[in-house]
Chains A and B, each alone.
Chain A
Amino acid sequence: MAQLQEATIKEVKVQSPRATMYMGMLKRFLQNKLAVVAGFFIVLLIGSALFAPAVAPYDPGAQDYTKIMNSPSAEHWMGTDEIGRDIFSRVIFGARVSLQAGLISVAIALGVGIPVGLIAGYYRGFLDEIIMRITDALLSFPSLVLALALAAVLGAGLENAMIAIGIVLTPNFIRLVRAEVLAHREREYVEAAKASGLRDWRVILVHIFPNTLAPMMVQATLAIASAIISEASLSYLGLGTQPPTPSWGAMLSAGQGYLADAPWIAIAPGIFIFLTVISINLFGDGVRDMLDPKLK
């Protein structure tokens, strides 16, 4: 009990310099104007996706055969598709799929990658060797091909696509976490913690894991961008989100056939994928510079 109190007191003491550190980080982030604009776009997109039914002017599935392949107008900002659906509404609903895919796939990759990487890096030895060779092997597959094969095994659909993409992203996180653990496990404070008789999992969780957070945040942000592209690719190939749910990849694929007559069908969702991904990348760069200005 006494020990616990001491620990709490220490926590309190470090709080104020920590607060100033966060302020400094925030300041650095706000200086990066592009990252701020990107962040603003992402927030806007997340908001529209969450409140899609309110934001979208039309039902994304509603077909209007009197308005087939209408070009963009005041009524239909991004035009209508081959069966008269409002593309803007479909793009807004499609954002749900893409954002969901990005976040959940990366969550899966983090969920598997962090513990495996921690264990591999902390215990080293034969187990580490096996884990690393498996990640090497997984990284030898072109990532899209592996995602494709996994999605085919699991069956087409958004959920399975997210699992497949999550698995494909996992080796990167295993490697990253392991490398960070290796860099920290020989440091004095870890040695001291071990010497004081702490259990392995406590040493890992309390003393090693927090140090891996900063690089992981950066990597995770960039992984969300690539997961969004992967999901759209799978949907484009017909192995991701299934109709009638609107998804950007499938919209592009459907629109490709009408490029000559109604290019907006394909181009509108394409621009949104591009803007989303570039914003996440810019935001990720901003986060990286914020956490460690030296990395720039």
Chain B
Amino acid sequence: MSSKDQLAVKNLHVGFQNKKSFTKIIDGINFSVKKGETLCIVGESGCGKSLTSLSIMGLLPKTGKVSEGEILFDGQDLTGLNEKQMSKIRGNEISMIFQEPMTSLNPVHKIGWQISESIVLHQKLSKKQAEEKAIDMLKLVGIPSPDKRIHQYPHELSGGMRQRVMIAMALSCNPKLLIADEPTTALDVTIQAQILELMNKLKTELHMSIIMITHDLGVVSEIADKVLVMYAGKVVEYSDVKTLFANPQHPYTQGLIESIPKLNEEQDELPIIKGSVPSPDEMPKGCRFSTRCPYATNACFNEVPPMISGEAGHQVHCWKYTECWEIVEKEGLIDAGMRETAAASQLIGS
């Protein structure tokens, strides 16, 4: 891990433990976020992107468990911390905002109280000082007449305003990392753009790192520095944002990008990715996308694809870019020698 990494996730495995069995949802993912950088985690619902963010926050549901791997925040492994240590980090050094601004704020408390709560909690300010800070924060996120707003209840604000309140709340203790789980999904398109603009502005002003969870590539192009594409609990592609849009490698990423409507081209029909995500118990042994991949061969079904790196940290997990692909495609079989060749392959032309 480089010293500039704010967060580094290494070989993370997460799943749900019920009485007898352990259902693994996230299967060995790796990524890192540098200081001041924005990482977008993209994928369909159920691919484990929200679970990843909850693992970082230590807010997994009761049955959820990190079974393997490390989450290094400022070099400290968060998975080893107890509840008390974790609560000192949450809302203070790592903050989170959620998808539903309508239901993420407590309906029976005034918003000023809700913002100052975490300020009092982490910064040991008096209530009065915290309230002043809350007003400043509301000003920062662009809420007009904040001194009046702090006396209002959440139901008196619009959805966009509430999401701004959530952001103000999350930023009130100057976190080093902000995790945003689909923060604009529930909002109108115009409001979405405003919120993204606000986040971009605040990122530069406050010099924090952001992890943005989204399924919307439009959002990614607005805000991301780096992108992690997830499919069924695994990373399929990891790259900086320009490379990803200019030169997507994984068939899944390509499918995602193709399915964005383009204004300048005439399209009769949007291409879609056929099929649906397999459930955990019918997951193919090999590449998890193989059941929907147009290029899939027998080998893809049976053998986990290696990670192939290219320039500028571009990574893709796919047999198609291994040096032995031609043989793989023809034979549908993989032997030990090919595995070695494959693992040593380099991504060309990215």
Q: Do chains A and B touch in the complex (CB under 8 A)?
A: no
